[in-house]
Amino acid sequence: MDKIKIITDSTCDLPKDILNDLGVKVVYLSVNINSKSYEDGKNITFDELMEIVDKDEDFPTTSQVTPDVFKEVYEKYLDRGYKIISIHLSSKLSETYQSASIAKNILETKDIYIYDSLNAGLGLGLIVKEAAEMVRDGYSLEEVCKNIEKDISTIKSCIVIEDLVNLIRSGKIGKTLGVLARVLKIKPIIGLLSGEIILLGRVRGKKAILNYLIQFIEKNNIDKDSKIYIVYSKGSIILEDIKNYLNNRGYNFYVSHVGCVIGAYAGKGCTGVFIKND
């Protein structure tokens, strides 16, 4: 039986206790603000980052993991006889996946399997958590890799963004949409399609936001075997309503706070749902 190490990056937004329990190695993207650099979730939290933003009105930038960092981490586990599965943030949102691929090429090994999740936040986290659970439960390398490939193509996402200012300033979406959102007081609903951020809809008011997310959940035909992950940031106005909706119907779901890198773009008050049906 192969020894397998799951490696991911900090944008997976899974809590440290889960990552530690499952033996997942995390490499950290950087958050840069006020000429200082912090490791996402390691030496700064999302709330601490937002305090700096509110105080200084500076926009945080982010930096991908470098090939040198990946090379060092990979060598550590290769030397201990591990096969490595490395799963990362969408290559269309960050160059972290490319850095991992460069490191593998430098090492010239076939014992590293690198995956572009085509996802972000708990979409990536869902893939990582399930892969790590399979490793823990004794599945083979081939079985884990096949499941990752299936997961990448089946995850659906729907995220309500309270304020588009950070996404606009980062160039991830167009400025026109942001102006319309502010003038009309609408909340954009975004998702990920083939690894890119897309606009799913526009709503106004708490009731409309909640109804949109409930409709998204219902149209994906969830059942007791569905994986449902809820992500939020401080100030979410519908988190408790979504949790109550799922609890009242007996669905199992997982909730986590957004991390610094994803939160730097999503901002305060975001709420998202990620779904995978087996």
Backbone angles phi, psi at 205, to 5 degrees: 95, 155
Q: What is the pLDDT of residue 53?
A: 78
Examine the fold and report which residue of 118, 153, 188 is the final residue of a domain before the chain moves on: 153
Examine the fold and report which residue of 96, 127, 153 is the final residue of a domain before the chain moves on: 153
- Closest residue by Cα to residue 144 from 89, 83, 192: 83
Same domain, yes or no: 146 and 184? no
Residue 248 has pLDDT above 70, yes or no: yes
At 120, list the tokens. Answer: 């972000």
CATH of the domain at 101: 3.40.50.10170
Label residue 244 exposed, middle or buried (CB < 10 Å: 0-12, 13-18, 19+).
exposed
Cα gap 223→209, rounded to integer Å? 22
On whether the CB atoms of residues 123 and 89 are closer than 8 A, the answer is: no
Find all residues with CB under 8 Å of 23, minimum gap 6, and list them. Answer: 5, 6, 132, 135, 136
Domains held by the chain: number:
2
Structural domain that includes position 84: 3-29+64-153
Residue 38: inside a domain: no
Same domain, yes or no: 213 and 266? yes
CATH of the domain at 251: 3.30.1180.10
Same domain, yes or no: 200 and 135? no
Cα gap 209→202, rounded to integer Å? 9
On whether the CB atoms of residues 13 and 262 are closer than 8 A, the answer is: yes
Q: What is the pLDDT of residues 155-192, one digit of tens each?
A: 999 999 876 666 666 555 555 555 555 544 678 888 99
On whether the CB atoms of residues 222 and 256 are closer than 8 A, the answer is: no
**Mean pLDDT over each residue of the chain, to the nearest integer:** 89
On whether the CB atoms of residues 84 and 78 are closer than 8 A, the answer is: yes
Same domain, yes or no: 12 and 143? yes
Residue 194: inside a domain: yes
Confidence of residue 36 (pLDDT cuts 50, 70, 90): confident
Same domain, yes or no: 253 and 173? yes
Strands 36-39 and 30-33: antiparallel
Examine the fold and report which residue of 94, 129, 153 is the final residue of a domain before the chain moves on: 153
Same domain, yes or no: 213 and 131? no
| 30-33, strands of its sheet edge to edge | 36-39, 30-33, 61-63
Cα gap 43→148, rounded to integer Å? 30
pTM: 0.90
Q: What is the pLDDT of residue 161?
A: 85
The amino acid at 191: G
Find all residues with CB under 8 Å of 225, minimum gap 6, and list them. Answer: 277, 278
Same domain, yes or no: 184 and 240? yes
Same domain, yes or no: 90 and 162? no
Same domain, yes or no: 219 and 261? yes
- The residue-averaged pLDDT of 8-32 equals 95
At 204, list the tokens. Answer: 């106004």
Residue 196: inside a domain: yes
For residue 55, the SS3 value is: helix
- E strands, the chain, are 3-9, 25-27, 30-33, 36-39, 61-63, 82-88, 112-116, 156-160, 187-193, 196-203, 227-232, 254-257, 271-276
- The least confident of 5-9, 110-114, 193-197, 271-275 is 193-197
Same domain, yes or no: 15 and 131? yes
Cα gap 237→206, rounded to integer Å? 7
Q: What is the pLDDT of residue 165?
A: 64
On whether the CB atoms of residues 31 and 261 are closer than 8 A, the answer is: yes
Q: Give rounded-to-5 percent helix, strand, coil for the chain.
A: 45, 25, 30
For the chain, helix (H) and strand (E) counts, in that order, are: 11, 13
Q: What is the pLDDT of residues 47-92, one digit of tens each?
A: 888 888 777 667 788 889 999 999 999 999 999 999 999 999 999 9
Q: What is the pLDDT of residues 86-117, one digit of tens each?
A: 999 999 999 999 999 999 999 999 999 999 99
